[in-house]
């Protein structure tokens, strides 16, 4: 059992050896570049393997099958551009001269590496219309990121946002986005009704993290995706419930986010270096 704990990459550690840090630097950088390149490439190009007619660009898939969770490509693309930039900043902290920052960045490295690999696999499957297998990958990554969140939620925002909350928010919404594409005739009445119901889970999920963990980064991320759904649904069909629900959810999440974020901006944040036990459930705010 002791040997397993020694080699388990997901175990919390008080320190990391120089060899481990070097490994994290290499694997984190390689897998992040892989995730970035495949996302950009398939945003601009179709898969050219086998000449399959079901091979499409990412946003061609998004528009080919209209569902209750079809996303606006502009809003979602901006989200991903910002996320990749923030992730580049996180990777830079692995090369910091401050040992505390390097340790904090390395502590979530294993989950981040797996997130990159899962994202790579998802994109490769999604653009080839393998939606069922893509859904499996999303669920596995959701488990990976949820485990990361609940075990490592006291780190500073420069780690928490690009590695934990922003990818987790995307994965949660992507499960519905891709899952809706698995349903036969997703534009028919019954799937649309289920979409009208399930979209409220975005609000419930966001409020859970805002209320329990005071995590305004999750609230803001999910409000962006609610906006992406709302804009897409409105532009496609003005007379419909889905875009109304999406904008209500966006508004509620944004207001809740501001209510939590404003105290943080006035200096009530947790001191991440001490990470006291009574604040483990509040990674972004203190003195609640």
pLDDT tens per residue across all 288 residues of the chain: 445 455 555 555 555 677 888 999 999 999 999 999 999 999 999 998 766 667 899 999 998 888 999 999 999 999 999 999 999 999 999 998 888 888 888 889 999 999 999 999 999 999 999 999 999 999 999 999 999 999 877 778 889 999 999 999 999 999 999 999 998 887 777 888 888 999 999 999 999 999 999 999 999 999 999 999 999 999 887 777 889 999 999 999 999 999 999 887 776 654 433 444 444 444 544 443
DSSP string, 211-245: HHH--HHHHHHHHHHHHHHHHHHHHH-SS-SHHHH
**Tokens standing for residue 54:** 């079901």
* pLDDT for 41: 97
Q: How many Å from the N-terminal Cα to the C-terminal Cα in the chain?
A: 39
Q: Which of 144, 143, 128, 110 is nearest to 61 (CA)?
A: 128
The per-residue pLDDT for 256 is 96
**What pLDDT is attached to residue 77?**
97
Cα dihedral sign for 13, 14, 19, 23?
positive
d(CA 225, CA 74) in angstroms, rounded, equals 11
| Cα atoms in the 13 Å half-sphere on the side-chain side of 173 | 27
Q: Three-class SS of residue 72?
A: coil
pTM for the whole thing? 0.87
């Amino acid at each position: 059992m002791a040997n397993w704990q020694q080699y388990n990459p997901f175990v919390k550690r008080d320190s990391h050896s120089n060899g481990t840090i070097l490994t994290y630097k290499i694997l984190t950088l390689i897998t992040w570049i892989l995730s970035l390149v495949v996302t950009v490439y398939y945003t601009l190009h179709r898969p050219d393997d086998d000449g399959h007619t079901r091979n499409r660009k990412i946003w061609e898939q998004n528009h080919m099958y209209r569902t209750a969770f079809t996303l606006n490509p502009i809003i979602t693309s901006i989200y991903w551009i910002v996320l990749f930039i923030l992730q580049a900043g996180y990777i830079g902290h692995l090369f910091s001269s401050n040992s505390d920052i390097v340790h904090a960045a390395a502590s979530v490295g294993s989950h981040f590496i797996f997130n990159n690999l899962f994202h790579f696999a998802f994109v490769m499957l999604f653009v080839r219309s393998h939606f069922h297998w893509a859904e499996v990958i999303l669920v596995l990554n959701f488990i990976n990121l949820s485990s990361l969140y609940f075990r490592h939620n006291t780190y500073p925002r420069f780690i928490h946002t690009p590695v934990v909350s922003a990818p987790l928010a995307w994965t949660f919404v992507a499960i519905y986005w891709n899952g809706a594409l698995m349903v036969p005739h997703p534009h028919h009445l019954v799937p649309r009704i289920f979409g009208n119901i399930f979209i409220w889970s975005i609000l419930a999920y966001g409020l859970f993290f805002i209320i329990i963990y005071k995590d305004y980064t999750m609230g803001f991320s999910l409000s962006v995706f609610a906006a992406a759904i709302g804009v897409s649904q409105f532009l496609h069909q003005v007379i419909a419930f889905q875009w109304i629900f999406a904008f209500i959810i966006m508004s509620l999440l944004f207001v809740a986010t501001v209510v939590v974020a404003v105290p943080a901006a006035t200096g009530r944040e947790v001191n991440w270096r001490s990470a006291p036990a009574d604040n483990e459930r509040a990674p972004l705010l203190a003195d609640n």
